[in-house]
Chain A
Amino acid sequence: MARLKLPVPPVPPALKPRPARPGTGNGRVGPLDQAAEAGITVVDWIDERTSLSGGLRWMLFRKVPKGTNWFYTLGSAAMFAFLSQAVTGVFLAMYYDPSPTHAYESIRYVTNEAFLGEFVRGMHKWGSTVMVILVFLHMGRTFFWGAYKYPRELNWVIGVVLLIMTMTMSFTGYLLPFDQRSYWATIVGVNINGTGPLIGPYLSDFLRAGPEFGATTLSRFYAIHMMLVPGLIAALIGAHLYLVAKLGTTAPPWIKAKPDERLTESEV
């Protein structure tokens, strides 16, 4: 059976485990070795059936070009913010009740009574701001550095959809606490939507679940906010990352490739 081989990360020599000297190991296998052996067996068992390690190696051990710097962390930071929203959102969903009569009460319960409730709600609320800022910064980076050019056009297009989805999240989430401010701001927001060309009025009717702001409007916003759009975002992030790994990330535009020395002509 082929053993899973991962390249060894470059560790300074001083930290590398010393190989046992011949003659010291007295040939016995300790529990530690057995545990390591068991771990490897399990991983091998899974890998033999799924071949996941190839994909993992492709994703993790691809090279990032010379000059890659901190600006390249903005995309993964946006993804991390999204994950944080997903986790805190799950906890909020455990208490939330999307009916006009109970929504406010359930949020009040989370805020004032549930253990760490206000903290988690605050993380979700401020996390949305952080995520929006990170998405905009990431987009600014790819824009100013021309990263959307050949061959990464499609990744830019997916990115714009992600931007719209992120804004949709914050628009639909704003209504959910169902306090005065969120209620009236959403009415105005949906009305603004309705003035749009062609699909504007239909979009408004869809959002409101009818021509008037009614009892089902809230549950519709809730479904959009916690199922439809997050699902789309997760799928699109997957596609976005697949393209990133496939095409590679750009090098900063200032970095010029020095051709391989063996290939340059030298003047004689």
Chain B
Amino acid sequence: MNQREKEQYLREYAILKSQGKPFFPYAVAKDSAMAAIVLVVIIVLSIVLGAEMGPKADPTTTTYVPRPEWYFFFLFELLRVIKPPQFVPLATIGVPTICMILLFLLPFYDRSPERRPERRPIATAAGIFTIAAMAFLTYLGASAGSPNEIDMKPPAGLKGAALGEWNRGKLVAAQSGCLACHKIGENGNDGPGPHLTNIGSVLPESAIAQTLRNPTAPMPSFQTLAETQPQKFQALVSFLGQLR
């Protein structure tokens, strides 16, 4: 907007304003009606849906679903959509940071005087696209389950104690939320972490244990599990080591 356009806007706005109505009581009445609606909606949600609680936080176990509040789903889904691990930082923070900067600076790069959405096709299209993308990612996030079971046959030839260990490891893996981020065989979500289906042939057991203790973000560390329940941890590692 140049100086002339600014002055023109202010002039026109002054006329519109002088033809308007006082904030009190006209706008205040509408605002109050809206506030009443908001209050009723919150109360109804509270009564109908309540406030449930999960089991108490326990750093050593398991059976958890690392799931954020639903309006963060789209961020988490971004991780899944942008696949290769070297791009993970880009997905987690890069894209949101860029979006935030674009949002902050919006009034400074969109300087045309036009305000009607249908005459600002780029801005309107970008806005609609952003909303659609966020809605789509939120939907994906909402429908992506985080299964707590691994449906898999033990490798042939595994017997006795080794088979027991394998089964226990499978249970720990299933209950530790790995499937929220990893795919093991047919189970779990495809991302943000890599497939673990053949992890045993990619990494030796010691390296797997090392990863679990000291992983790259966003994967949580399972150091506490290793310290407090070494057998469980060992079972988990040997289960993973036999995935080939």
Contacts and interface: CB of A to CB of B under 8 A. Distances in A.
B81 interface: no
Interface in B167-225: 177, 217-220
B174 to A, nearest CB: 15
B115 A146 contact: yes
B97 A61 contact: no
B94 A156 contact: no
A108 B42 contact: no
Contact of A170 (B9, B71, B177, B219): B71
A126 interface: yes
Given A63-B17, A118-B50, A130-B42, A257 B22 contact: no
B38 interface: yes
Given A68-B27, A153-B108, A257 B16 contact: yes
B113 interface: yes
Interface string A136-150: 000010011111111
B117 A144 contact: yes
Contact of B55 (A180, A248, A255): A180
Nearest to A188: B66
Among A187, A256, A259, residue most surrounded by chain B Cβ atoms (within 10 Å): A187
Given A130-B42, A180-B64, A104 B12 contact: no
Interface stretch (A16-24, A47-55, A195-203): A195-203
Interface string A160-201: 100110010011001001111111110111011111110010
Interface stretch (B29-37, B156-164, B232-240): B29-37
Nearest to A254: B116
A207 interface: no
Given A63-B22, A122-B45, A153 B107 contact: yes
A40 interface: no
Given A157-B104, A179-B55, A181-B67, A146 B38 contact: no
Interface in B72-109: 72, 75, 79, 88-89, 92-94, 97, 100, 103-104, 106-108
A64 B23 contact: yes
Interface residues of B, number: 85
Contact of B94 (A118, A197, A248): A197
Nearest to B42: A127
A68 B211 CA distance: 58
Nearest to A104: B56
A139 to B, nearest CB: 9
B47 A119 contact: yes
Chain A contact residues: helix, strand, loop or mixed? helix
Contacts of B66: 181, 184-185, 187-188
A77 interface: yes
Contacts of A65: 13, 16-17, 19-20
B57 A77 contact: no
Chain B contact residues: helix, strand, loop or mixed? helix
Nearest to A189: B68
Interface in A6-22: 7, 9
A185 B24 contact: no
A3 B115 CA distance: 44
A68 B20 contact: yes
B186 to A, nearest CB: 24
B115 A192 contact: no
Contact of A66 (B20, B47, B65): B20
B63 interface: yes
B225 to A, nearest CB: 12
B20 A192 contact: no
Contacts of A167: 71-72
B40 to A, nearest CB: 11
Contacts of A147: 115
Closest 7 pairs (CB-CB, A-B): A122-B46, A146-B115, A183-B57, A196-B93, A153-B107, A179-B54, A126-B45
Given A77-B31, A126-B46, A185-B67, 17 more contacts: A65-B19, A77-B34, A80-B38, A84-B42, A104-B57, A119-B46, A119-B47, A130-B38, A130-B41, A149-B110, A149-B113, A150-B1, A160-B104, A171-B72, A174-B69, A180-B55, A258-B19
11 contacts: A60-B24, A63-B17, A68-B20, A68-B27, A73-B34, A111-B51, A130-B45, A180-B57, A185-B66, A255-B16, A257-B13
